[in-house]
Structure 1
Amino acid sequence: MIDRPTAPYNHILIYISGLPTRPLTPPSKGPDAMDLSTARQNMITHQVNANRVTDPLILTALADIPRERFLPRSLWGVAYADEDLPVAPGRALMEPRVFARLLQAAEVEADEAALVVGCATGYAAAVLARLASAVVALEVDPALAAKATEALTDLGVLNATVVTGPLAEGYPDQAPYDVIFVDGMVPKVPTALLDQLADGGRLVAVEGTAPIGRGVIYTHEGQGVGRFAAFDAVVGRLPGFDPQPRFRF
């Protein structure tokens, strides 16, 4: 078992300057650390708390982890906006209020193992790593997986591992999982993911097809799996979950 980190992550801004021979107009550096810290707290107050997320461990993790680190530098100024933010063609970081609501619904315990399906650049994995004992972060895009690995390493996240593979198949090599977090919208959660839940395990996802979606919780108990639709939500879709067309004569 890997111990989860207990201290806040630190991030350092490094500026390299030359020795100009005449006055130069300094380049724009974008928002500074203080601006981003204020935006992070405003996100928690006006988006997360306002959406009935009150778990103190989740709120602390959201306050400590720099969401901007998982975005292109050009988007740092809107890192804490209440919307999905693009990280690659067809891929996005989930909007904060839905992300936090799903996390709270998962009821993650400190001694549990978690799987993130569609981790993109790794933000969900970083937050879950503060709540769970160990996290497997599954990504289908090798370029995004590399960015996730780099970001998690830079932030000193030691209990999350990034792996690559088809998202709809999950990652059975490390199953079963106490928590599965589907980091995007899918038409329907496939049986292959539900089969990787431990007894008592929970899977949270947004199911549907835009513009209609629901935040759902699946719970594995004994020989059965229950489903509860908790709230309305629409977020960016994950690739690889569209139903296969049926062959017709």
Structure 2
Amino acid sequence: MEEIIMEHAGKHALVTGGGTGIGAGIAIALAEAGAEVTITGRRTEKLAEVAAKSPRLHALEMDVANEASVRDGIAEAAKTRGPIQICVANAGIAEGKPFAKTTLADWQRTMTTNLDGVFLTFQAAMATLGPDDPARMIVISSIAGVRGLKGGPAYTASKHAVIGLIRGLSEEYMKTSITFNAICPGYVDTDIVRNQIPGLMKRFDTDEAGAIAAIAKGNRNQRLLEVDETTSAAMWLCSDGARSINAQTVQISGGQV
């Protein structure tokens, strides 16, 4: 019988927003590759559903918009499972609103979760590392991080900002074994996208299939992406073969942006 090689056996990975969609897909794949994976989020029932899929998946209620929650939660996870050598900052919110109607509260809510949350997650995770520990720090940005998104100025700005963050960090830690990269998916078939369907059905006076088609037009191949396409990109960035991939934006949109 052929031996199954688990590349990430003995490593501790942390995935924020790991209870659904892209985060859950990445967390499960990392566990299958042998890592002990801490999955975080605000909805304990969703985390529990994912954690039940593998004994290497560990649920941790944590709110990336709350500094104490992030620092205390990550410190406790590291105390239990060791330094975090793979960190996937996936948690985020997507709220569309025209610029003229975007309030300061709207803007700050988006930045607190999508940008401040990544800053806190990376800083707390890196604090668990020893001076020579290799690590992979990955943020799930968006195609909106490399182009403008009509009707979503705050979201667009936040996703551009996290790309600036990983580029700055890659320069600061260039001579170490820590890499920083961003994955920029287009429209992926997840709950966060599916939740837009009722509003689009009403807006365009169409059925569910028509609403899905309208969303899919945002991808160059005009189909919704599957979660596993983003998962595969993340697993590649975590692999030993990607050890010199640093400060890059991996765009997944079915074509050129």
Q: TM-score of the superposition, structure 1-length normalised? A: 0.40
| Structure number having the greater helix percentage | 2
Q: TM-score of the superposition, structure 2-length normalised? A: 0.39
| Structure number having the greater strand percentage | 1
